Structure 1
């Protein structure tokens, strides 16, 4: 019997796909949740994704209530960025030098205590912007220490072929929290008051600490790994990135997409000018919600892409689609088309996050994963803020729509040029 006949008979004997089988091909891949350790880590993320957003809303609201100044709100945001950057880089080195479970316990406890201090200053009527900014800096420092260890731990809890699915599950929860958290905060403030939002976050973090406590120990795999976590170890992380082209390109892809193509700084002006006939407040809310909503939709249907093996190409094309969608948003005169393009951009961002995260966890050795995640945290936190400055300046000089379209086109051109000039990302697969 020839090969073609054997293949035909094998296919004929296979059972026809059921409705459940077809659903699993496009629905979210939940295989990682079958693993108890990962399920505990993910559960802790579910709790904090919403709780942290309550504090993220409460802090600027309280500062504005005290000062009546948006400038002070912006200053507080920058005050929180510096400790996040510094401690994320240091936290990555620490995560490679000690048991990551222990580090997560320490940092989650620190974040919970900080939330309690936020509650205490609010309930006692302290009304001090300086105290709020110090607490915000402390909270961001703990978060910077926490994030690299949390992300680096995933590769020890699930096998390599489930990393994209695990990243999709985690990213979907975080994006959902960015939508549900502010909505819940807005609904709760008139009912229970501002101070209680901090208390709810602190109580939620107790659940997180318990979930992390039940994780297995996650010490360094190699006994020879340095127990130091200083400047030299941080510098080693950057040298490691420069010596591995695929890791460098995964960071550059995110920088290209976020710095050149994140148009959120122009949303207020576009809502006021281009989309004013729809209602300025209504338009502004839709614009800010569209990208996270698209990302959540991408996560819910991540089964359509999470099993892909060519991770490099998935990153390249998702960034290109992001750029095209942003350009389409800039060209839109209709609010509904604009929201649709931003939602597509959100889906593309989800795909990019999933596979960039998978590359960082699979291409780096375990003794370097913490430092890679530390740099990743800095890039994710800093990129959109640089984009706000760049797009705000370009919007003032050339007009908001021209700035958005130009940024989207630049994303496509620069990403394709990087992919053509440096083949490491194109060739990467698992």
Structure 2
């Protein structure tokens, strides 16, 4: 439009030039004054459109962000069958979490009720044994005391075998891990386009958790007194699926980050994981000693109670009363102090550090950078799991790197527990 107006003014000025020089000069000046005004108005209307279009192109193609296609119609929608499968797994995981929470509460009640019942039986039997030894011969008291001690012995054997406090801790951990898996599946569904790989991974993790923390007692219960203490393992041993690249051609991995992650693994293996395994061994030894001592003491008390009486020796009466009292103390220390739960807690903590180590190893050993998890995001996840900031994580790696061969770092990798 500006071109047409300018040409019209130029033609009119040319035609008038034949009539007189002054008129030509005046209209030529008018054209020169009007032309910039028209041109400026048209540019002011078109510049926002050009800027908006350029801004949208920068968002779509991005400076640093990778986009496979610029046409939104070419993006494949999520497979409805895959989404339906993930929702089915999500429902099963939610049900599992609720189930383990209920079983945890039930087995925690077992521990409290059995502890109170067994101690009540032992103290009642000790009282009867003392009365029968001090007073006249009462066969009923001797028989009652002996039967109570034998009943307490049988209940202690069963209680020490199943370890209710340890069972409750197992189910508590399982409920927490199933809730964590539930949140991760929800994130996968809300983040974008789930694939069959997501479905397979979720299925394997559910089955691995079922195997690591079984619900039934008979035939599937975990060994409460293992020969060797090993970290708990609740994740599947499978090849990593290809993660989504976030930005950058190197996926934010470099030599410095790899070296930092190796140093973090070294600290976790030397300090954190070994410390919890050492504490787990001590808790296991203590639990074994208490589990054997309780039934042995109640058995001795039953023998002493059966022999107690005015005509019998005082040694039998002392055994009947003192052994029963010691058995109550041992039972309270073992199950009231929940030594089995403490052992399971140490074992699970060691498993947590093994999981972090396996996660770091699986990324570092992958040669193709594009198949790794994004380096910046992965570093942040490791820092959060260890209760550290990014700067603290780097300081830990630098401190470990500066040590000599025979030196050992004086701090733990984790600040959480």
Which has the larger Rg?
2
Q: State the structure with bigger RCO (CA 8 A, min sep 6), 1 or 2.
A: 1
Give me the TM-score of the superposition, normalised by structure 2.
Answer: 0.23
